[in-house]
A and B are shown apart, each in its own frame.
Chain A
Amino acid sequence: MSIPAEQRQREFEGEALIHLDALYGLALRLSGGDEPRAEDLVQEAVLKAYRAWDRFEAGTNCRAWLMTILRNTFINQFRQQKARPSPVEFDQVAERPSSDTLYDADPEGRIFDRMIDDEVIAAIDALPDEFRVAVVLSDLEGLSYQEVAALMGIPVGTVKSRLFRARKRLQERLYDYAVEMGYLK
């Protein structure tokens, strides 16, 4: 049984649209900081949610429901794009000597208290797509390896290796930033 249009709109505004900033935050991270692309993603996900509003169970977690719709919308586009070869291969990037690591410079991780979030977010945004998406889904959104693998259509072992490389790359960026800011020598 469908809800009258006016009531549906009122409900949707009151229950779903309060999560717009959370949706946009996730869209921005998934799209690597591309604002117009993130907005398109939010618009598409919101429209899908609105059309499916009759199927949303009142009293369940609306934010989680919307985030899932947004993730799936992004992943569908992502997987279509990835049917074409990726221009940048992370593996081609030279690894730095293992002595220049954030761990060696700051083994107690004091830098994490001083780091500006925007710098870390910029470092996440700058990761190559396949690596960034794995980090966002796993580290920011808390999905399991299995869930990330299923969404991205890759084996669990690939998720593991992408996370490993992406996390090391982030630590390298944080190291460079910390040196630049004079936090580390």
Chain B
Amino acid sequence: MSGRGTDSPDGSRSGERELTCEESLARVYEYLDGELDIGEHEAVKHHLEKCRKCYPHYDFERLFLDYVHELGAEEESRPGLRERVLEMLAAEAG
């Protein structure tokens, strides 16, 4: 990442530049997906969990992804599938 140590748009100044709202929200999915490197993960976490404007967006996306992920465990049955698979295996075994 470039631009470390420069002024952030809100005028604050620090050794490690704080991310802006826009930069943090642009990384919200990568953050939630666990795809950021440690430094960036911490920077995004720091912003999202402290910023009153960004936190609700982050929380909403977290709930959304948790909800979609839970659907992944769903099993589905198809009538006759087991019987057809067994027939196929019997034919394979000769």
Binding site for B on A (CB under 8 A): 5, 8-9, 12-13, 17, 20-22, 24-25, 28, 35, 38-39, 42-43, 46-47, 50-51, 103, 107-109, 112, 115, 117, 120-121, 124, 135-136, 138-142, 144-145, 160, 163-164, 167, 170-171
Is the Cβ of A171 less than 8 Å from the Cβ of B89? Answer: no
- Which residues from chain B contact A124 at a C-beta distance below 8 Å? 68, 71
Measured CA separation A140–B74 after assembly (Å)? 9
Q: Report if A170-B68 is in contact (Cβ < 8 Å); known contacts: A46-B88, A107-B56.
A: yes
Q: Are A117 and B68 in contact (CB under 8 A)?
A: no
Show 6 A/B contacts (Cβ-Cβ < 8 Å), sorted by A.
Answer: A9-B89, A17-B85, A47-B89, A107-B56, A144-B33, A160-B29
Given contacts A139-B68, A167-B29, A171-B64, whether A9 and B75 have CB atoms under 8 Å apart is no
Measured in the bound complex, the distance between the Cα atoms of B35 and A138 in whole Å is 12
Determine if B81 is an interface residue (Cβ-Cβ < 8 Å).
Answer: yes
- Flag if B78 contacts A39 (CB, 8 Å): yes
Within 8 A of A (CB), among B47-73: 56-57, 59-60, 63-69, 71-72
Q: Footprint of A on B, CB under 8 Å?
A: 29-30, 33-35, 56-57, 59-60, 63-69, 71-72, 74-78, 81-82, 84-86, 88-89, 92-93
Main SS of chain B's interface residues? helix
Chain A residues contacting B84 (CB-CB under 8 Å) are 39, 43
- Contact indicator A139/B65 (Cβ below 8 Å): yes
> Once the chains are docked, how many angstroms separate the CA of A123 from the CA of B57?
22
Chain A residues within 8 Å of B65, by CB: 139, 167
B75 to chain A, nearest CB (A): 4
B72 CB to nearest chain A CB (Å): 3
Please report the C-alpha to C-alpha distance between residue A46 and residue B57 in the assembled complex, in whole angstroms. 42
Q: Is B71 touching A24 in the complex (CB atoms < 8 A)?
A: no
Contact A25 B68 (CB under 8 A): no
